[in-house]
Amino acid sequence: MSRKIFTLLSLVLLLAWSCGKRSDSVNVSDNAVLQKADGTISLNVESATCYNDVVNPSSNTAEWNVVVSKPGTYKVWLSSATKDTTNLSYINSVKISLLDKLLEVNPEIDKIVLNSDNVSYPYFRADSYAGSFYISEPGEYSIQVISEKVLTKEAMNHSPAGTNDTKLMSVILTPMTR
């Protein structure tokens, strides 16, 4: 009898202890990109999972897992390093996907960022507006970019001279304000 009471009392204590224990941590991937305090999400190609296709470079892909803590509408910018500030020379359109939304854009230079820490001479940083995404709730999402300008360091070292005039550096999501 005392054994049953002890077992029952132990289960009640264990249940009370486990219900009182809360965890505010969210399960996120080890390589997930976290949103900055100002709401910006910066996705560098160097930190992405990249897939390069030597035969068909237009299907080169960069992918990130992103943790969004502030839902809302985000402007999507492509940041490129270029030697020519008048023409980015993307051959094919760039595809950016989040959930079931796909942005497809032929990047044009919308702004040149002077004195950028991301690039060094002879390159300049050129940002191109690609559209916007609406993220309805906080959570972890996968963002994918497909372009011939997605190049890993190994791919850049093996490409012919003159073909590296422009390379995709990052995708930047900035919150839209009302």
Residue 138 lies in a domain: yes
**What pLDDT score was predicted for residue 162?**
52
Q: What is the DSSP string of 52-110?
A: --SS-GGG-EEEEEEEESS-EEEEEEEEEEES-SS----SS-EEEEETTEEEEE-----
In a domain, 142, yes or no: yes
Number of domains in the chain: 1
On whether residue 39 sits in a domain, the answer given is: yes
Residue 71 CA to residue 51 CA, distance in Å, equals: 29
2 within domain boundaries: no
**Predicted local distance difference test score (pLDDT) of residue 119:** 85
**Is the distance from CB of 51 to CB of 151 less than 8 angstroms?**
no
Are the C-beta atoms of residues 124 and 56 closer than 8 Å to each other? no
pLDDT in tens, 75-133: 999 999 999 889 998 999 999 999 999 999 999 999 998 888 888 888 899 999 999 99
CATH number for the domain spanning 132: value is 2.60.120.260
Residue 135 within a domain: yes
Q: Which domain holds residue 139?
A: 30-113+128-149+161-178
Instruction: Judge whether 7 lies within some domain.
Output: no
Quote the pTM value.
Answer: 0.79
Question: Does any domain span residue 141?
Answer: yes
Q: Which residues contact 23 (CB under 8 A, 6 or more apart)?
A: none
